[in-house]
Amino acid sequence: MRIAFLVAPEGIEQVELTEPWQAVREAGGTPVLVSTASGRVQAFHHLDKADTFPVDATVADSSVEKYDGLVLPGGVANPDALRMDEGAVRFARSFFEAGKPVAAICHAPWLLVEADVVRGRTLTSWPSLETDIRNAGGNWVDETVKVCEGGASTLVTSRKPDDLPAFNEAMVSVFRSARV
């Protein structure tokens, strides 16, 4: 199970990167940090700088065929930057086109709105994204974790860091099922 974690060069909510990363590793998978630029990415604890992490691959050098699934960590700045990058939007959309599972937490569904893949899907997010998701044709719900199996690929979403245990459990379950 090889899972891409797509992030911008900065603005990632650290816990929304590190806890899902660890869950994938504990499930026997290989997480791969993919970004729009090479080097290191800057994570945050809300608004305060936290750790940096080395990029394993860039969006320009990656393709959906290399991965079994995609994780989109949140943070406000991270998905906001990603949705402005055509390569990142294309990369995220390609997982839906290929029927591969995607997991997104907190503000990360902003990228999915930009990729035009929420139409007809039910998902959750940080509450401030509700209007954006509804305007993009999605159905927003206020739930700890939502697994939407409509369409070719399964989408797992959660609202915030407090939801990480449920998010990680659902995400790993979906990624494992997709490999069967």
User: Which of 77, 75, 80, 66 is closest to 34 using CA atoms?
Assistant: 66
pTM of the model: 0.97
2-178 carries CATH number 1.10.150.20 = no
Cβ neighbours of residue 14 closer than 8 Å, sequence gap 6 or more: 43, 44, 45, 50, 51
Q: Give the active site residues.
A: 106-107
User: What does the pLDDT look like over 25-66, one tens digit per residue?
Assistant: 999 999 999 999 999 999 999 999 999 999 999 999 999 999
Whole-number percent of the chain with pLDDT over 70: 99
Pairing of strands 57-58, 30-35: parallel
